[in-house]
A and B are shown apart, each in its own frame.
Chain A
Amino acid sequence: MTENTVYVKKYGSGDGGFPVNEREIWRYCGYMGMAETVDDALKELLSEVRSELEGAFSYKVCYRRMELSWQDGMPVLPFGVQSGDLARCLAGSREVILFAATVGLEIDRHIARHQRFAPTKALLMQAYGAERVEGLCDGFCREIADQAAQEGLSCTARFSPGYGDLPLETQNDFFRLLDCSRQIGIALNESLLMTPSKSVTAIFGLGECVGEKRRHGCADCTGVDCAFRTV
């Protein structure tokens, strides 16, 4: 069913219930599959970073559930543009969840503070923040998937503006539909990036038999130049 209300979910501080995955943090630092080679000095620096950022994260998601109809094989969405890649992702869905997630502004403050005088620390903070917001998105999607399972529905992978042929301009639609600024304090700037920087917007589908492959993998992505590409 389409609802007009934007709902907000807030999670406790600390890890928000999403256990920290240090391998992911090292991956964001550039150690692609080489996390075991990280030396002790850096490991120690990461634990320093983790204790400095204790309580700095405030995990919030705002979302909206909407019915989805299809026309000529394309999903009818309140977006300004169509995207074949998004259509493939949502294939078989009859509802969608639009959401925005953030871990708050405090991490940006810490990064700004260290950027000039302790750039290594700032880099680890960047990576840690990225791991946190991804963890939040995964946790939120899992929760919705569990609820949906009770209704006999399953979920597709999530898809964000800027993925594949869905232009970044779709951020404007997400912000209009989710009232992100008021609901959870994310602002969109002129170049369509978000502040707090550790924020994500995405859409995923719900349907009877969708989402065999839950995670959007590198193989699905058109970003062949990406430094993080694994295939």
Chain B
Amino acid sequence: MNVLDYVKDHIVYLDGGMGTLLQKRGLQPGELPERWNVSHPDVIVEIQKSYFDAGSNIVCTNTFGANSLKFEEEELKSLILAAVENAKRARELSGASQEKYIALDIGPMGKLLEPYGDFAFEDAVSVYAKTVQIGAACGVDLIFIETMNDSYDTKAALLAAKENCDLPVFVSNAYGEDGKLMTGASPAAMVAMLEGMHADAIGANCSLGPGQLKGVVEEYLSYASVPVLLKPNAGLPRSENGQTIYDVDPREFAADMADYIQAGVRIAGGCCGTTPEYIAATRQATLGMEPKPVTDKNRTLISSYTHVVEFQDSPVLIGERINPTGKKRFKEALRNRDIDYILGEGLAQQERGAHVLDVNVGLPEIDEPELLKTVCFELQAIIDLPLQIDTTDVTAMELALRRYNGKAMINSVNGKEEVMREVFPLVRKYGGLVVCLTLDENGIPETAQERVAIAEKIIRTAENYGIAKKDLIFDTLAMTVSADSRAALATLQSLNIIRHKLGCHTSLGVSNVSFGLPNREIITAAFFSLAMENGLSAAIMNPNSNEMMKSYYSFRALHGLDENCTDYITNIGRYATVEAATASSGKTVAENPGSPSEGAEPKVASDLQRAIVKGRKEQAAVLTVKMLECEEPLDIVTNHIIPALDIVGKGFEKKTMYLPQLLMSAEASQCAFEKIRQKMTEGPSESVSRGKFVIATVHGDIHDIGKNIVKLILENYGFDVYDLGKDVPPERVVETVVEQHAPLVGLSALMTTTVPAMEETIKQLRKAAPWAKVVVGGAVLTQEYADSIGADCYAKDAMATVRYAMQEMEKLAK
């Protein structure tokens, strides 16, 4: 009987610890346990047989760290083959009568993935794929991915298993005391992602004793629609007279496990510190216990790498601002690959209360798959909201979904056969909640009935792909009411039917309704309220609109979704104000014209200079706006901003001012610059640029603190900085310098180990871009070092870089 058939009607018992038992038998510190499959097969067989004898249904192969990062291919093959043979031998030798299965054990490879680590996602998939291919060929019954403490790494392993075999896959994560994975995911977030990708059983193992995992297990049981597994440690180890003792004994362990099995856990075993005795005790304690049926929890979930967003009665707000449609500045940012601008839009929406961010970077002239992938990745590096991947380009959609850390929302599919044929397989493979537009080959139907009929067709088709109704969310298409006075009615009626008769979730891009009307916000917000009343589960909307946020909080309060109106009371003040940001800070300045009191002031020529020297951002912005009324933008830069920066820069060099002050001034002058840039894009274009400067942390180095500071200060002094980021291959630096014909290049390296990469970059630059001057910096560099690798300049800090860059630009000008 297949293990999945067996688990349908039975409690499944796993094995217990392996590593701890091998240490008792003499495994040395730092020795790789996988080698014992070949060097001590008798020990492995004996341990595994004792687990089968104790009643384990599933015994894992001794392959926790068997991957291509630790072993050469030939050895890897022989170790995995021996491991599977050992387990099979143990199964043959055991006289126990229960069903017996062998799982290929896969533990984390021990590298942290980007963006926090330096290991690429696809490389991780390849590492796991190798182990899966070898193991599956040896004839195991299932794959057991365990002890994963990072959601992204877990996704890579599961993807590798799914792409390289047809075996059942169990996935188990290691949670800390805070009930989260090391990289932050909650159990619910893992359930969402892993079920979306069709793991066959999911749960927790290692790190804690059974008692401490109570919260984690309960969360799994309330969210999971597949069997839940649990494999805790025997508590914590402590040292007693040179012996390692675990603080939970078999009896106590078994009693806790019996409670969990009663509550619904279906697959149970032990991890570090547990022995066959623990498994036998667990068996004994659950003798005759009926397995609790596994039910579909029917919860509609999406997730980020930390948490889930659940679609229920309270509407979900999906921020629509990351989208070039109708936005000149955003289009410009996309063309220039100005990722910072896009991230700024994301952060601002999160700040304003969005629950999910829609991500649309479609422009005809750009490489959408590449850019969508990059933007999603960069957003996930700093924002923990789930994303809605919004594209009509299926290649872009797949690339983004594959790399997404969590279970994404997908925008969109519709009733057209061809579109469903393209999109549903992606939803099936990577998981996701997909927005379904109620239109088809014949366009958007006028009546509610016809839209509902399309929804029904989409539900049937999705089912054929194995996609459940709970993973579909219907958009009944908000049309422009100024063009057709009955347009809103059809949208709302079909929405109501789909939500209440078909029992599906619904979503609308609400802003569309008001095109062509004055004061759009007002009617959009009214439509939003009506839609919520008709059962809207989610709105794609502008969180910057106060009217929308007011409607949202009011609706929740009026609809019994906000106990004691707490959320309304807490939040409404932020949105109930007039657009007052500029008005109020203007007032502050009037009352407080520069506050020149504190300490020994450097001599300053103006309030703006003082604001910048003191690092007062808001004040710098307001003063700049005021000055722009009567002064030329470039005069402000030359007469006020640059002198202010010089004051701070000199103070820094003389050590009368320190790095935090230098940065605060830089931030303040950026605020001033932003205002000047705005003013200048209004008028005929005139450049404030001092010249182009390409900057990068070299290949192999992922430390960019210093590089970012240098970039900021350079921008302050008016350089056009092309920041290539960290770990940048020499070729990319050369490519950009040539493409931009940049006269200046800055390279940073923190490690002695990465200085050779810096040298190589300089070598390539000399060949392809002989005009470029290269300035280097970073913790390990010295003047001698810089000279030896052929740099033009060694800069000890940001100010030194600026001085050099200005001096070179002056030379060029002459």
Q: Which residue of A lies closest to B26 (CB)?
A: A4
Which of A85-93, A106-114, A131-139 faces chain B? A106-114
Question: Is B485 an interface residue, CB under 8 A from the partner?
Answer: no
Render A180-210 as a binary contact track against B, CB cut-off 8 A, 1 for contact: 0110010111111101100000000000000
Q: Which residue of A lies closest to B242 (CB)?
A: A1
How far, in Å, is B47 (CB) from chain A's closest CB?
A: 16
Which B residues lie within 8 Å of A185 (CB)? Answer: 149, 176, 182
Q: Say yes or no: B23 contacts A42, CB within 8 Å.
A: no
Which B residues lie within 8 Å of A105 (CB)? Answer: 116, 182-184
- A10 and B782 CA atoms in complex are apart in Å by 40
Q: Say yes or no: A29 contacts B112, CB within 8 Å.
A: no
Question: Is A168 an interface residue, CB under 8 A from the partner?
Answer: yes
- A191 and B615 CA atoms in complex are apart in Å by 36
Q: Say yes or no: A177 contacts B149, CB within 8 Å.
A: no
Q: Say yes or no: B239 contacts A78, CB within 8 Å.
A: no
How far, in Å, is B382 (CB) from chain A's closest CB?
A: 4
- Give how many B residues have a beta carbon under 8 Å from the other chain's beta carbons: 68
Q: Say yes or no: A189 contacts B117, CB within 8 Å.
A: yes
How far, in Å, is A45 (CB) from chain B's closest CB?
A: 8
Q: Say yes or no: B700 contacts A191, CB within 8 Å.
A: yes
Question: Is A40 an interface residue, CB under 8 A from the partner?
Answer: yes
- A190 and B757 CA atoms in complex are apart in Å by 13
Question: Is B667 an interface residue, CB under 8 A from the partner?
Answer: yes
Q: Which residue of A lies closest to B652 (CB)?
A: A30
Q: Which of A31, A64, A187 contacts B112 (CB 8 A)?
A: A187
Q: Say yes or no: A120 contacts B239, CB within 8 Å.
A: no
Q: Say yes or no: B343 contacts A116, CB within 8 Å.
A: yes
Q: Which of B107, B115, B118 contacts A189 (CB 8 A)?
A: B118
B residues 168-192 near A (Cβ < 8 Å) are: 174, 176-178, 182-184
Question: Is A154 an interface residue, CB under 8 A from the partner?
Answer: no
Question: Is B344 an interface residue, CB under 8 A from the partner?
Answer: yes
Given A7-B237, A187-B112, A191-B702 in contact, is the A120-B183 Cβ separation under 8 Å?
no
Q: Say yes or no: B615 contacts A41, CB within 8 Å.
A: yes
- A106 and B183 CA atoms in complex are apart in Å by 8
How far, in Å, is B574 (CB) from chain A's closest CB?
A: 19
Render A55-85 as a binary contact track against B, CB cut-off 8 A, 1 for contact: 0001000001110000000000010000000
A residues 1-31 near B (Cβ < 8 Å) are: 1-5, 7-8, 10, 13, 29-31
For the residues of B in contact with A, the DSSP-based class is: loop
Q: Which residue of B lies closest to A78 (CB)?
A: B30
Render B374-392 as a binary contact track against A, CB cut-off 8 A, 1 for contact: 0000000111100000000
Question: Is B604 an interface residue, CB under 8 A from the partner?
Answer: no
- A31 and B658 CA atoms in complex are apart in Å by 7
Which B residues lie within 8 Å of A176 (CB)? Answer: 30
Which A residues lie within 8 Å of B768 (CB)? Answer: none
Q: Say yes or no: B30 contacts A193, CB within 8 Å.
A: no
Most A Cβ at <10 Å: residue of B20, B381, B660: B660
How far, in Å, is A67 (CB) from chain B's closest CB?
A: 11
Question: Is A39 an interface residue, CB under 8 A from the partner?
Answer: yes
Given A120-B615, A189-B111, A191-B700 in contact, is the A5-B244 Cβ separation under 8 Å?
yes
Given A119-B667, A182-B147, A190-B700 in contact, is the A195-B382 Cβ separation under 8 Å?
no
- A5 and B27 CA atoms in complex are apart in Å by 11
Q: Say yes or no: B184 contacts A41, CB within 8 Å.
A: no
Q: Say yes or no: A7 contacts B712, CB within 8 Å.
A: no
Which B residues lie within 8 Å of A173 (CB)? Answer: 30
- A34 and B24 CA atoms in complex are apart in Å by 54
Question: Is A101 an interface residue, CB under 8 A from the partner?
Answer: no
- A104 and B176 CA atoms in complex are apart in Å by 11
How far, in Å, is B381 (CB) from chain A's closest CB?
A: 6
Which A residues lie within 8 Å of B381 (CB)? Answer: 112
Which A residues lie within 8 Å of B238 (CB)? Answer: 7
Render B634-667 as a binary contact track against A, CB cut-off 8 A, 1 for contact: 0000000000000000000000001111011011
- A176 and B182 CA atoms in complex are apart in Å by 20
Which of B560-568, B678-686, B703-711 faces chain A? B703-711
Q: List 15 A-B contacts (CB under 8 A).
A: A4-B24, A5-B237, A29-B658, A29-B660, A30-B659, A65-B239, A66-B29, A78-B29, A105-B184, A116-B340, A116-B382, A122-B705, A182-B149, A193-B703, A195-B112
- Give 7 A-B pairs besides A39-B661, A117-B344 with Cβ atoms closer than 8 angstroms: A4-B244, A39-B598, A112-B382, A120-B667, A181-B149, A189-B702, A225-B782
**Which positions in B face A, CB cutoff 8 Å?**
20, 23-24, 27-30, 107-108, 110-112, 115-119, 147, 149, 174, 176-178, 182-184, 206, 236-239, 242, 244, 340, 343-344, 347, 381-384, 598-599, 614-616, 658-661, 663-664, 666-667, 700-705, 708-709, 712, 751-754, 782
